[in-house]
Amino acid sequence: MSAARFEQIALIGIGLIGSSIAHAARRAGLAGRIVGSARTAATVEKALQLGIVDEGFQTAAEAARGSDLIVLCTPVGMCGPIAREIAEAGAFSDAAILTDVGSVKGAIVRDVAPHVPVGVHFVPGHPIAGTEQSGPEAGFAELFDGRWCILTPPENCDAAAVARLKAFWQGLGSHVETMTPEHHDRVLAITSHVPHLIAFNIVNTAGHLERVTDREVIKFSAGGFRDFTRIAASDPTMWRDVFLNNKQAVLEMLQRFSEDLTALQRAIRYDEGDTLHRLFSEARTLRRGIIEAGQDTDAPDFGRRTTTHQAGADEKA
């Protein structure tokens, strides 16, 4: 049997990420059974209808019972309470691996680790892949292909459990890297969290310019603004939890961002064309580096695919 294969995988939360894990695990033959739970009965029902889970439950504890891999795929703020619920029900199997997919890692370790019984291996994770879509219908097997998944195992974590989870994510199509939760949160603050905040903000700023909103914002949105509106369509609950749980790193990166923005403002105000040209050239070089690293294409329109579920899969996390 492959080390990456689990007898029963429990998905706690069956939205975009949970359902994509199910599709990718089935594609790679990594699951004997897949079970799941969600907040609402409607989502569990939908996941059953779509064949994402073999069995659905109303509670996380019922789904976790008897599972050798439990993946928390809910908004970040729910991970701690759910781990506590499973622990209090005595539903963790001995030697099970507990992981999550949350976009923040320090707060998840803080909230989940106290509830993990001895003998259960907690290995936090974060696939750097996603779209602005939510729900069980949004998932697809290719979501993780060629994307990174970051694991943040605690120092005393069982090495065999980490290796097994790493093999699982590789089986789902990902490259895997390990780092500390603190490092993860600083990196993701600048690569994902602050960009989302900027998108939410710029779309609202345009929306508040009432005269423009009705027609021109939509009519002329083929420019950069269109990309911001797509990112700003991301799930408000998920992103509320990201910002509330990665405060320190986000605020630090925002401070740096506003200093750099002030430098640009100043260059514009004082007609410092050379400064603007230099700063824009630096940004362009960074973009080329991303393409060379295979994390995007240089095709026109960012090589964006036209299928709705894959559009923009590269930018989200």
| Footprint on this chain of ligand NAP (rule: CB under 6 A) | 12-18, 37-40, 43, 60, 73-76, 78, 82, 101-103, 126-127, 130, 134-135, 235, 238, 242, 316-317
Tokens representing 91 are: 């539903």
In the block, residue with structure tokens 């026109």? 300
Collapsed DSSP state (helix, strand, coil) of residue 235: coil
Based on CB atoms, which residue is closest to ligand NAP, 136 or 214? 136
The answer to whether the beta carbons of residues 38 and 47 sit under 8 Å apart is: yes
Pairwise CA distance, residues 34 & 6, whole Å: 9
> For the chain, how big is the Rg over CA atoms in Å?
21
| Nearest to ligand NAP of 126, 304 (CB atom) | 126
CB of 42 to ligand NAP, least distance (A): 7
Q: CB of residue 3 vs ligand NAP: minimum separation in angstroms?
A: 24
Contact yes or no for 190/248 (Cβ under 8 A): no
CB nearer to ligand NAP: give 75 or 173. Answer: 75
Q: Which two tokens stand for residue 227?
A: 């990309």
Min CB(88)–ligand NAP separation in Å: 15
> Comparing C-alpha atoms, which of 74, 57, 66 is closest to residue 32?
66
Q: Measure the CA–CA gap between 128 and 124, rounded to whole angstroms.
A: 13
> Which is closer to ligand NAP, CB of 162 or CB of 313?
313
We find the least distance from the C-beta atom of residue 22 to ligand NAP, in angstroms, to be: 11
Residue 267 sits at φ, ψ, to 5 deg, of -65, -40
Neighbouring C-beta atoms of residue 204, cutoff 10 Å: 10
Beta carbon nearer to ligand NAP, 13 or 171:
13
Helix (H, G, I), strand (E, B) or coil at 127: strand
Q: How far apart are CA 237 and CA 160, in angstroms?
A: 34
* Residue placing its CB nearer to ligand NAP in the complex, 67 or 103: 103
At its nearest, how many Å lie between ligand NAP and the CB of residue 253?
Answer: 17
The pair of three-digit structure tokens given for residue 310, joined into one six-digit string: 């894959």
Minimal distance in Å, beta carbon 143 to ligand NAP? 9
| CB-CB contact of 295 with 314 (8 Å) | yes
Q: CB 118 → ligand NAP: shortest distance, Å?
A: 25
Nearer residue to ligand NAP within complex by CB, 49 or 213: 49
CB of 138 to ligand NAP, least distance (A): 6
Q: Would you say 27 or 217 has its CB closer to ligand NAP?
A: 27
Q: Which of 156, 152, 150 has its CA nearest to residue 169?
A: 150
Contact assessment for residue 234 and residue 243, using Cβ atoms and an 8 Å cutoff:
no
Q: Please give the DSSP secondary-structure letter assigned to residue 77.
A: G
